[in-house]
Amino acid sequence: MAAQLRVLRRRIRSVKSTGKITKAQELIATSRIARAQERVAAAQPYAHAITGVLTALASGANIEHPLLTPRERVRRAGVLVVTSDRGMCGGYNANVIRTAEQLIARLRSDGIEPVLYVIGRKGVAYYRFRNRDIAESWTGFSEQPAFDDAREAGQTLIDAFNAGADDTDGGFGPDGLPGIDELYAVYTHLASMVSQVPTVTRVAPMEIEETDKPSTGIPPAYEFEPDAASLLDSLLPKYINTRIYAALLDSAASESAARRAAMKAASDNANDIARTLTREMNAARQAAITQEISEIVGGVDALAASGSEE
């Protein structure tokens, strides 16, 4: 009985210690969610502005640009998968990887070769464990991404997209570099504090967004200084970097929200287990006390009986 009590006490201490860790992780994630949402909101005006400017440029100037013009033959498509660097966030990584796998399967069914680019240690570990080729990976900033992180990844992706412009069915073109003809980003959108939705968006070539303003039937006239081609060369890479940065911020907020929910559930489970084990320990201790009392009473009765016989 004493051994059973020692085991129960040790299990209770272990569960309570784990509960303290998960509670701390829950509080940290809660504190990060508000800051992450503020960063998402702060980045939106610039993203909307640069999208509007590029839409006006693309609509008002008859210019063919590699980042604007869909390829006649799509041979390879880049898939940027945004995951977390740490675990303990429930199904956050599993959901985004599942969505990426569905996209990869769809691309292959269309005869398009997917090229993987991964952000986050969890995604890198997932694909390396399965011996999947990763063209490039970036880690260490999933919870607090900076624009420099997005620019580093964006430049690699832009170079790959530009390299694919001269690719042919038989090879990689005059430059000899394997490129991509499309670029997709797979990340998690924070729909609400309890809902994080894996999202697929096409980053390149840029999709011209329709404006909400009513059309007057007369297209607007623009004067460009410098010329429209130079502006597009300068702004389109910034647009790609901005889209990637927005995806990183949205994913960071979703990661914190998912970790908060997972850690709250873990803390609640730890408390429930501790209560169950405490009741079990109290019952075992009560049984031991009852047994000791019974043995004492039995001993007293035996002594009394032997004394009466004398």
The pLDDT tens digits for 200-226 are: 999 988 776 554 445 555 555 666 677
The two three-digit tokens of residue 221, written as one number = 């006239």
pLDDT-derived band at 45, boundaries 50, 70, 90: confident
- Cβ-contact 222, 117 below 8 angstroms: no
For residues 14 and 167, the model is more confident at 14
pLDDT digits (tens, 9 = 90+) for 148-200: 999 999 999 998 888 876 666 666 666 666 788 899 999 999 988 888 999 99
pLDDT reading at 120 higher than 90: yes
Q: What is the pLDDT of residue 211?
A: 47
Tell me: cis bond preceding 226? Omega within 30 of 0 counts: yes
How would you class 73 by CB atoms within 10 Å of its CB: exposed for 0-12, middle for 13-18, buried for 19 or more?
A: exposed
Residue ranges of domains in the chain, CATH in brackets: 61-208+220-259 (3.40.1380.10)
Amino acid symbol at 35: R
Which of 122-136, 160-174, 255-269 comes out lowest in average pLDDT? Answer: 160-174
Q: How would DSSP label each residue in 181-202?
A: SEEEEEEEEEEETTEEEEEEEE
Q: What is the pLDDT of residue 282?
A: 86
CB count within 10 Å of CB 135 equals 18
Strand 136-138 vs strand 76-82: parallel, antiparallel, or unpaired?
unpaired
Q: What is the pLDDT of residue 292?
A: 78
- Determine the Cα–Cα distance for residues 28 and 25; give it in Å rounded to an integer: 5
Q: Which phi and psi (to 5°) does residue 69 adopt? A: -95, 120
- Cβ-contact 39, 247 below 8 angstroms: no
HSE-CB for 11 with a 13 A CA cutoff: 17
Q: Name, in order, each residue with C-beta under 8 angstroms of 102's C-beta and a sequence gap of 6 or more.
A: none
- Could you tell me the pTM of the whole model? 0.82
Helix H or strand E segment including 288: helix 228-309
